[in-house]
Amino acid sequence: MKVTEHIKRAEKTLFSIEVLPPLKGQTIHSIYETMDKLMPYDPAFVDVTYHRQEVVYREVEKGLMKRHAVRKRPGTVGICASLMNKYNIDTVPHIICGGFSKDETEDALIDLNFLGIENVLVLRGDPIKSEGIFKPEPDGHAYASDLLQQVVQMNEGEYLDEELRNSSKTNFCIGVAGYPEKHFEAPNFKSDMKFLKKKVDLGAEYIVTQLFYDNKMYFDFVKKCRAAGIEVPIIPGLKPITSRKQLNIVPHFFHVNLPEALVDGIEDAKTDEQVRQKGVKWCIQQSEELIDAGVPVMHYYTMGKAKSIQEVAEAVFGK
């Protein structure tokens, strides 16, 4: 079932989660452990992220350098198929620009269509850490809007090879990302909103937000979207703080602000477990306020760890 169909049929706020593929060489059982803990709260769908490989250049001989992949999380398509089979749940694979040519993207979308997957979340993806700025693959997409357009064209039966035009149509429900505190590369919020509106106009059917810790940022973001003519569902994404070091890591990597009350509470905590509990409590309060405001879905980023999300889900959806 499509994400938008889940939302239309729902009589209350839905619960959904996002999981990370394991690093290359590891097994899928860590995802099963996460799913087993969260399935009792009836997630409507599960997102499966895709992370492009990280590379370094190592000297091999006589000053020659060889490109070497050091970190990769393969398996998004296979994981989606496994979760659908094991848990009978709808999956939302992330499709990114980075690391893919247009032909490779088309092949990936064909595979997903063969599996009966009806949803995709279209993203540009992060730059390779060693490069600093995003660089598309040769004959790849530089922007999420271009990637989205390719998915829309396949939904219309248009493939890259002109001889395949008017072939069988795919049927993907397309989601995109939104940033309540502005994408860090956008020069200002107005510019960021313009490009989000473009993606919706091209065919995006729902928006999932970057994580945030101040609900006012989400409510303001929704108002600005509606004022810009964006009428699709806007799903808030949350992740509880689970450790003291995340006070520095989360703002750095996700480019979000942490409210003073949250930071003060965590800094005052005496033990690691107290820190985690304060993060969980804050996330529960956020969730309850958002649900009271009528959000369509509560989406939680598990980051491969289920314990804190399980406690939030029990408090919010276990009633």
Q: Which residue shows structure tokens 């477990």?
A: 273
Q: What's the confidence (pLDDT) of residue 129?
A: 62
Beta-carbon contacts of residue 297 (< 8 Å; ≥ 6 apart): 3, 6, 7, 13, 14, 15, 16, 44, 233, 235, 236
**Helix or strand run (H / E) with residue 15:** strand 14-19
pLDDT digits (tens, 9 = 90+) for 2-31: 999 999 999 999 999 999 988 777 889 999
Whether the per-residue pLDDT at 145 is higher than 80: the answer is yes
Nearest-10 crossing angle of helices 76-87, 29-38: 40
How far is the C-alpha of 96 from the C-alpha of 46, rounded, in Å?
A: 17
**pTM score, two decimals?**
0.91
Average pLDDT (195-215) is 98
pLDDT digits (tens, 9 = 90+) for 210-252: 999 999 999 999 999 999 999 999 999 999 999 999 999 999 9
> CATH number for the 3-317 domain, one of 3.40.50.80, 3.20.20.220, 3.40.50.2300, 3.40.640.10?
3.20.20.220
93, 77 in Cβ contact below 8 A? yes
DSSP letter at 40 equals G
Beta-carbon contacts of residue 223 (< 8 Å; ≥ 6 apart): none
C-alpha distances (whole Å) from 285 to each of 100, 129, 163, 220, 315 are 40, 34, 55, 18, 10
Least confident of 31-45, 70-84, 181-195, 269-283: 70-84
Alpha helices in 115-168 (DSSP H): 144-155
How far is the C-alpha of 228 from the C-alpha of 75, rounded, in Å?
A: 37
DSSP letter at 163 equals G
